[in-house]
Amino acid sequence: MILCAGAATGKRRVAAETCFSATAGQRTAKIECHAIGKGTHLRERDDNSNGPSLALVGLGVASNGAELLGGIDLQLRSDEMVAVVGPSGCGKTTLLRTINALIEPSAGEVRLGGQLPGEVGYPRWRRRIAMLEQQPTLLDTSVEANLRRPFDYETADRDYPADEAAELLEELNVGRRRLDQAARSLSVGQRQRLCLIRALLIRPDVLLLDEPTSALDPESLDAVEKRVVHEVRQRGLAALVVTHDRGQIERLCDRHLDLEPHLVEGAADHMDGRDRGQGEA
Indicate the length of the chain as a whole number. Answer: 281
Residue 168 per-residue DSSP state? H
* Single-letter residue type at 162: A
Separation of alpha carbons 203 and 94, rounded Å = 23
CA atoms within 13 A on the CB side of 54: 29
Q: Which of 5-9, 37-41, 44-48, 189-193 has the lowest mean pLDDT?
A: 5-9
Measured distance CA(56)–CA(73) in Å, rounded: 5
pLDDT tens, residue by residue, 45-96: 444 456 668 999 999 999 888 889 999 999 999 999 999 998 888 899 999 9
Residue 161 CA to its chain's centroid (Å): 22
| Contact by Cβ (8 Å): 236, 50 | yes
pLDDT over threshold 70, residue 171: yes
Residue-wise pLDDT for 11-25, tens only, equals 332 222 222 222 233
**Where in the chain are the domains?**
7-262
pLDDT of residue 65: 83
Under 8 Å between Cβ of 209 and 241:
yes
7-262 has CATH 3.40.50.300 classification: yes
**What is the phi/psi pair of residue 258, to 5°?**
-90, 120
Q: E strand or H helix at 58, and its extent? A: strand 54-63
Is residue 180 within 8 A of residue 142, CB to CB? The reply is yes
Torsional sign, CA 64, 66, 69, 72: positive
Mean pLDDT of 135-139: 92
pLDDT at 208 over 90: yes
Choose between 6 and 79: higher pLDDT.
Answer: 79
Higher pLDDT: 265 or 203? It is 203
**How far is 155 from 87, CA to CA, in rounded Å?**
37
**Whole-number Å distance between alpha carbons of 279 and 29:** 29
Identify the weakest region by mean pLDDT among 59-68, 118-127, 232-241, 270-279.
270-279
Three-class secondary structure of residue 179 per DSSP: coil
| pLDDT for the residue 22 | 28
